[in-house]
């Protein structure tokens, strides 16, 4: 007897959201793919600028990247991760999977993005401040 992977992984007393399987799979895969593409475009832009991609070492930044995907979001890699989580949540169609999303955003803002932005402001000063005023953190 074959089992549905999402049922095995997500067996809980919480009911699944009433989304048709084809919509769950199609929308989930589409959103996940979009997330991967956005995150990869952020990495590619950093590589082209020859600056660090390591989120644990923002002090190693050698260039402020404000072109490409960075014209629309200051954090395409984190936005991409969020979209991957959204895609997975849509596929799983479980309420708890949707609850993870705001927790991810709150955590990333507080413990990753804000410290990174303090370092970038110290390194790039007015250039980063102008960029921050021009481009939103997420979208």
* Cα separation values, 55 from 16, 22, 60, Å: 35, 36, 10
Contact in structure between 76 and 41 (CB atoms under 8 Å)? yes
Q: State residue 1's pLDDT score.
A: 45
pLDDT at 18: 83
Show the DSSP H helices in the chain as ranges.
5-9, 21-48, 76-92, 95-108, 114-124, 126-134
DSSP assignment letter at 50: T
pLDDT in tens, the chain (139 residues): 445 555 555 555 567 778 899 999 999 999 999 999 999 999 999 999 999 999 999 999 999 999 999 999 999 999 999 999 999 999 999 888 999 999 999 999 999 999 999 999 999 999 999 999 999 999 9
Distances in Å between the alpha carbon of 33 and those of 37, 70, 85, 86, 131?
A: 6, 19, 11, 11, 28
What pTM was estimated for this model as a whole?
Answer: 0.88
Q: Residue 4's pLDDT is what?
A: 55
SS3 category, 87: helix
- Find all residues with CB under 8 Å of 111, minimum gap 6, and list them: none
Sign of the Cα pseudo-torsion (66, 70, 72, 73, in order) = negative
Residues 137, 73: contact at Cβ < 8 Å? yes
The pLDDT of residue 28 is 97
Q: At what angle do helices 95-108 and 76-92 cross, to 10 degrees?
A: 170
């Amino acid at each position: 007897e074959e089992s549905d992977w999402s049922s095995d992984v997500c067996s809980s007393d919480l009911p699944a959201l009433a989304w048709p399987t084809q919509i769950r799979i199609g929308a989930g895969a589409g959103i996940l793919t979009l997330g991967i593409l956005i995150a990869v475009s952020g990495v590619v832009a950093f590589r082209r600028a020859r600056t660090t991609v390591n989120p644990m070492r923002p002090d190693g930044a050698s260039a402020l990247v404000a072109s490409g995907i960075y014209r629309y979001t200051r954090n395409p890699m984190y936005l991409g991760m969020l979209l991957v989580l959204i895609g997975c949540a849509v596929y799983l169609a479980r309420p708890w999977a949707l609850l993870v999303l705001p927790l991810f955003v709150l955590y990333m803002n507080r413990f990753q993005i804000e410290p990174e932005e303090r370092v970038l402001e110290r390194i790039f000063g007015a250039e980063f401040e102008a960029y921050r005023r021009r481009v939103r953190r997420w979208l």
